[in-house]
Amino acid sequence: MRLRIFERPYSYLLAAGALAAAMCLFPAGTEKTQQESPAPAQTPQLADGQTGMEQEAPQEQPVGADLSERTGSGCLLHRTIRYAQCSHSVQRREDLPAQLRGLTRTALEKELPGVVPGAVITGFSSSEVDIAVRLPMPCPLHWVLRGGEDGMLHVMQNLSGEAMEAVRKTDVPLSLAAEEDRQALLAGMVFDDVQALEGYLESLSS
């Protein structure tokens, strides 16, 4: 089914933004969003790397830690997801996957990549495991404008919190952008809000 540009893109994108924010803030577990440092307001950025994960720096076990301690049946997983393109982070607390229960920290470190790729352990106890993951994309509160294979510009969002997907196809061709902007649009330009995104699209159409 082919998507068409909406006559009232503001209302559509605001609705999409509200949905993304809700998914970011209220998943199946307990989650909250943080901003590690202020992000530049309404400034297009390159969205380099739309998929995959960047490895966090692993943390050493504390001196004197009980190496025989194992994750229990009611153990929780506290996940911190950091978004490289906007400096925001999301924290989720959920049940530890069954395949990671009953493991020591050393054993869990070996099994973790197969369950949560790119994650590193930042804290460990029998009742809760803390991990961190860095994703090379913006969080669900931002919009990305990207040139598609059809030569048109598409609006992308990180609706799931872990992958970019198209939410709208515009009627603006990539060829209208200045030559110096085209490479950036093929990689993806990040916008902080709908007004900045629509303003840029209008500047291409005028």
Q: What is the pLDDT of residues 104-119, one digit of tens each?
A: 999 999 999 999 999 9
Answer with the residue of higher pLDDT: 50 or 79: 79
Average pLDDT, the chain: 80
Residue 64 confidence class, pLDDT cut points 50, 70, 90: low
Residue 191 Ramachandran class (φ > 0 left, ψ -120 to 50 alpha, else beta): beta
Q: Which residues contact 36 (CB under 8 A, 6 or more apart)?
A: 82, 87, 88, 89
How many CB atoms neighbour CB 101 within 10 A?
16
Q: Which residues contact 77 (CB under 8 A, 6 or more apart)?
A: 92, 93, 94, 95, 96, 97, 100, 128, 129, 131
Residue 205 confidence class, pLDDT cut points 50, 70, 90: confident
Residue 46 pLDDT: 53
Interval 81-100: pLDDT, tens: 999 999 999 999 999 999 99
Q: What is the pTM of this model?
A: 0.68
Residue 167 pLDDT: 95
Q: How far apart are CA 167 and CA 157, in angstroms?
A: 7
Q: How far apart are CA 47 and CA 133, in angstroms?
A: 17
Q: Residue 206: pLDDT above 60?
A: yes
Q: How far apart are CA 195 and CA 174, in angstroms?
A: 19
Share of the chain above pLDDT 90, in %: 66
